[in-house]
């Protein structure tokens, strides 16, 4: 759609159709780009019907029983011999159980949000109309390329008893909605693609999407979108790209060279508001629970912060928004804005552009090795989509002539990475008949791209830790020292009996590597703090090192001092020399790195308390160092504010969230937008 058509109109353009599956709707006359009406969207997403004929597509949405009916059914099933008191108690219990259950709702679709990098939005905001149109075209082309990849390799449906077979579809039925700004009126060019949870199989039958690959592939699809968009903008406009650091816990971002961080920060006020509120919620959580939240809880708190800071959407025309953006940018840009934007369009001229056949085999293998190193640093096991996402990141600094060239090289790198990985999924025990195989020859009884991999390095690291766990040459702590350490207050917290017992067992075990096992919230961090005091009471203060995967948390160990050993050290780890102890949290996330660290320090002087260790290590030595779940130690984690998209999978440019019925809006959509 021409951008100038909506330049003076308030709001955003109407939704339009996307996806090859729309050809199976109605009389087959629908085409990509057709405008979607409110009634059509209500039929498709709200009712699961054909938007033109209103006929049911496959089975009707399942109608879940309301709370009162579920309670009544369970109450009627109680044994008649129960006494009145017993019956009343059982009714109270089952009522509480039903009320605690999340309200079941049918998934009507998935909302993928494609958002250009902030520097692209800034350039788009200040460029002339012609350049704005080219940026919009590049964005739409990248979205279309991702949907094509999704239809080819991700959009599957299930058939057979219990959905035992996973089969291909004839494409997705989706509606796209273009937006120009964030809720804080910052330039943020993005498109919501709402994919209906109705697809037609190759047999002509309408079924639901298999949701597993829709979520598993979302990060890889996001990276693919970023790369294809960068290729197109460099090819069509001549922009250059550079990598920007976003902190230790996030992947670096690629932005247009020449769009400074100060300008990006000025037009990222929505993200800044969310981060401030998220940090406040984390601080409140720590004060309430006595520990840092898990990574999963942090994501939920960020979702809560997103909703809590969500301002009402003020409807403006693109012309009004452009005037506002130019006023805000004035103090940050010395030259005239149009001239500034034009200068950015020549930086990438003459940039080398690659074809698929430009990469020799040895270079592809080197790229695959780099992919495995990065993926292995973050995961103990992986699947093809994990490798695909990292391969896209490794190739992001290169520009390709076409999307096909990029996809071909990424595919070759991923193939090489799979071949170099250790396959954990067992092979098929028998050959699958041809009628039960997908078009690519794989068995329909196995999820596509579902093979699980690991590496020999991961297993070698685990075996090394197991050997260290069986080695009893480490120093111990005297019991009287342990008693003094565990009797002290730690921020007003007194160790419980089981925590004292765990400290005693680890401090006197003489194992080079030891394990503390316990569910989340049972006080492991507090226990490790007591262990640190005991150890330092024996060997002196400042001798304990705190480790955590990607600096997720540190168990109140000593601050950094001189004499650190930085080589192959997880981010944020500190060292105080060779006669201290190593106190590691969630060690299962980086067993290979921890094995290196422990190996690099004199074994007779090391104490490694592995909290959250991998199952083999925990089973080997953790039986007598376990932390039972204690109600007093774990308060209920705060639920995010009410949202229609629970379990949202989020990434930098593409978000996938289930859209559930019944719809709460006139369009039948339930999408969250930050």
Residue 371 shares a structural domain with residue 498: no
Average pLDDT over residues 358-376: 96
565 with 614, same domain: the answer is yes
**SS3 category, 208:** coil
Rounded mean pLDDT of 505-524? 81
Task: State pLDDT tens for residues 45-83.
Answer: 999 999 999 999 999 888 888 999 999 999 999 999 999
**Residue 312 included in any domain:** yes
DSSP string, 435-474: GGB-TTS-BTTS-TT---EE-HHHHHHHHHHHHHHT---S
Confidence check: pLDDT of 661 > 50:
no
Euclidean distance between CA atoms 70 and 82, whole angstroms: 20
149 and 71 part of one domain? no
Same domain, 339 and 396: no
Residue 51: inside a domain, yes or no? yes
Residue 240 has what pLDDT? Answer: 94
Q: What confidence tier does 571 reach under pLDDT thresholds 50, 70, 90?
A: very low
- Among 403, 433, 454, which residue terminates a domain? 454
Q: What is the pLDDT of residue 9?
A: 59
pTM over 0.85? The answer is no
Does residue 606 fall inside a structural domain? Answer: yes
Range of the domain at 533: 463-633
Measured in residues, the chain has a length of: 674
State the first-to-last Cα distance of the chain, in angstroms, to the nearest integer: 25
Q: Is residue 462 within 8 Å of 616, Cβ to Cβ?
A: yes
Give the burial string for 117-149 (b: 16+ CB within 10 Å, else e): bbbbbbbbbbbeeebbebbbebbbbbbbbbbeb
CA–CA separation, 592 vs 459, rounded Å? Answer: 9
Name the residue among 148, 147, 123 with its Cα closest to residue 136: 123
End position of a domain, from candidates 304, 323, 346: 346
* Cα–Cα distance measured from residue 331 to residue 336, given in angstroms and rounded to the nearest whole number: 11
- What does pLDDT average to over the chain? 80
Which of 208-212, 245-249, 637-641 shows the lowest mean pLDDT across its residues?
A: 637-641
Examine residue 648 and state whether it is found in any structural domain, yes or no: no
- Nearest to residue 113, comparing CAs of 146, 74, 66, 89? 146
Look at residue 217 and tell me whether its pLDDT is greater than 90: yes
Please give the average per-residue pLDDT across 624-643, as a whole number.
Answer: 39
Mean pLDDT of 558-584: 39
> Mind listing the pLDDT tens digit for each residue in 310-360?
777 777 888 888 888 888 888 888 788 888 888 888 776 778 899 999 999
Q: Is 657 a domain residue?
A: no
pLDDT band at 125 (very low <50, low <70, confident <90, very high): very high
237 and 283 fall within a common domain = yes
Per-residue confidence (pLDDT) for residue 44, from 0 to 100: 94
pLDDT band at 196 (very low <50, low <70, confident <90, very high): very high
541 and 577 belong to one structural domain: yes
Cα gap 4→317, rounded to integer Å: 11
Q: Is the pLDDT of residue 149 over 50?
A: yes
Share of the chain above pLDDT 90, in %: 45
Residues 342 and 299 in one domain: yes
CA distances from 634 to 259, 279, 289, 304 (A): 47, 21, 7, 21
Within 10 angstroms of residue 245's Cβ, the number of other Cβ atoms is 10
Please check whether residues 270 and 415 belong to one and the same domain: no
Q: What is the pLDDT of residue 673?
A: 32
Kindly give the residue spans of alpha helices, DSSP state H, lying in 309-336: 318-329
Average pLDDT of span 246-254 = 74
Top-confidence residue, 296 or 216? 216
Q: Which pLDDT belongs to residue 268?
A: 85
Q: What is the pLDDT of residue 270?
A: 80
CB 516 within 8 A of CB 554: no
CB environment 604-638: b (16+ within 10 A), e (fewer): eebbbbbbbbbeebbebbbeebbbeeeeebbeebb
Does a structural domain hold residue 511? yes
Q: Check whether 577 has a pLDDT greater than 60.
A: no
Of the residues 346, 361, 390, the one at which a domain ends: 346
| pLDDT for res 364 | 97
Judged against a pLDDT cut of 80, whether residue 383 lies above it is answered with: yes
Question: Is the same domain home to 282 and 165?
Answer: yes
């Amino acid at each position: 759609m021409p951008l100038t058509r909506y330049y003076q109109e308030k709001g955003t353009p109407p939704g339009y159709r996307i996806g090859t599956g729309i050809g199976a709707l109605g009389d087959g006359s629908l085409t990509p780009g057709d405008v979607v009406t409110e009634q059509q969207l209500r039929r498709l997403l709200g009712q699961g019907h054909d938007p033109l004929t209103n006929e049911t597509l496959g089975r009707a949405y399942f109608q879940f029983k309301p709370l009162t009916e579920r309670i009544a059914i369970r109450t009627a099933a109680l044994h008649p011999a129960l006494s009145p008191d017993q019956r009343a108690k059982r009714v109270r219990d089952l009522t509480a159980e039903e009320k605690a259950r999340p309200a079941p709702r049918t998934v009507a679709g998935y909302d993928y949000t494609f958002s250009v990098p902030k520097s692209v939005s800034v350039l788009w905001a200040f460029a002339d109309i012609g350049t704005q149109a080219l940026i919009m075209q590049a964005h739409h082309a990248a979205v279309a390329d991702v949907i094509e990849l999704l239809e080819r390799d991700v959009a599957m449906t299930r058939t057979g008893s219990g959905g035992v077979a996973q089969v291909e579809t004839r494409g997705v039925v989706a509606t796209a909605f273009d937006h120009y700004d964030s809720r804080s009126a910052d330039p943020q060019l993005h498109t919501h693609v709402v994919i209906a949870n109705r697809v037609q199989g190759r047999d002509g039958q309408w079924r639901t999407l298999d949701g597993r690959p829709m979520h598993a592939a979302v990060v890889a699809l996001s990276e693919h979108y970023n790369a294809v968009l960068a290729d197109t903008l460099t090819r069509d406009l001549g922009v250059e790209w550079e990598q920007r650091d976003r902190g230790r816990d996030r992947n670096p971002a690629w932005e247009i060279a020449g769009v400074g961080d100060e300008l990006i920060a000025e037009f990222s006020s929505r993200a800044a508001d969310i981060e401030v509120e998220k940090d406040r919620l984390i601080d409140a959580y720590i004060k309430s629970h006595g520990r840092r939240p898990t990574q999963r809880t942090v994501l939920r708190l960020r979702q809560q912060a997103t909703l809590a800071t969500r301002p009402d959407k003020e409807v403006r025309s693109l012309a009004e928004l452009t005037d506002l953006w130019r006023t805000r940018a004035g103090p940050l840009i010395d030259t005239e804005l149009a001239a500034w934007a034009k200068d950015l369009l020549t930086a990438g001229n003459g940039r080398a552009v690659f074809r698929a056949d430009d990469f020799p085999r040895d270079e592809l293998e080197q790229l695959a090795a780099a992919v495995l190193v990065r993926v292995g640093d973050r995961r103990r096991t992986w699947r093809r989509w994990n490798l695909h996402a990292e391969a896209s990141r490794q190739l992001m600094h290169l520009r390709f002539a076409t999307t096909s060239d990029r996809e071909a090289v990424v595919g070759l790198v991923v193939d090489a990475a799979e071949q170099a990985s250790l396959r954990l999924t067992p092979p098929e025990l028998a050959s699958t008949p041809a009628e039960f195989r997908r078009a690519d020859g794989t068995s329909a009884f196995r999820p596509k791209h579902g093979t699980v991999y690991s590496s020999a390095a991961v297993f070698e690291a685990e075996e090394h830790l197991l050997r260290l766990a069986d080695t009893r040459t480490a120093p111990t702590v005297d019991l009287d020292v342990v008693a003094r350490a565990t009797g002290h207050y730690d921020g007003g917290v007194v160790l419980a009996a089981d925590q004292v017992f765990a400290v005693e067992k680890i401090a006197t075990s003489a194992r080079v590597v030891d394990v503390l096992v316990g569910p989340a919230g049972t006080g492991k961090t507090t226990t490790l703090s007591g262990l640190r005091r005991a150890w330092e009471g024996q060997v002196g203060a400042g001798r304990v090192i705190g480790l955590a995967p990607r600096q997720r948390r540190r168990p109140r160990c000593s601050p950094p001092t001189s004499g650190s050993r930085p080589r192959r050290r997880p981010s944020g780890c500190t060292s105080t020399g060779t006669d201290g102890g190593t106190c590691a949290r969630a060690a299962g996330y980086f067993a290979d790195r921890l094995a290196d660290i422990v190996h690099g320090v004199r074994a007779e002087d090391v104490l490694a308390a592995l909290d959250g260790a991998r199952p083999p290590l925990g089973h080997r030595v953790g039986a007598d160092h376990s932390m039972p779940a204690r109600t007093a130690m774990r308060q209920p984690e705060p639920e995010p504010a009410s949202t229609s998209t629970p379990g949202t999978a989020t990434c930098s440019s593409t978000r996938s969230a289930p859209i559930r019925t019944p719809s709460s809006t006139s369009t039948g959509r339930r999408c969250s937008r930050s």
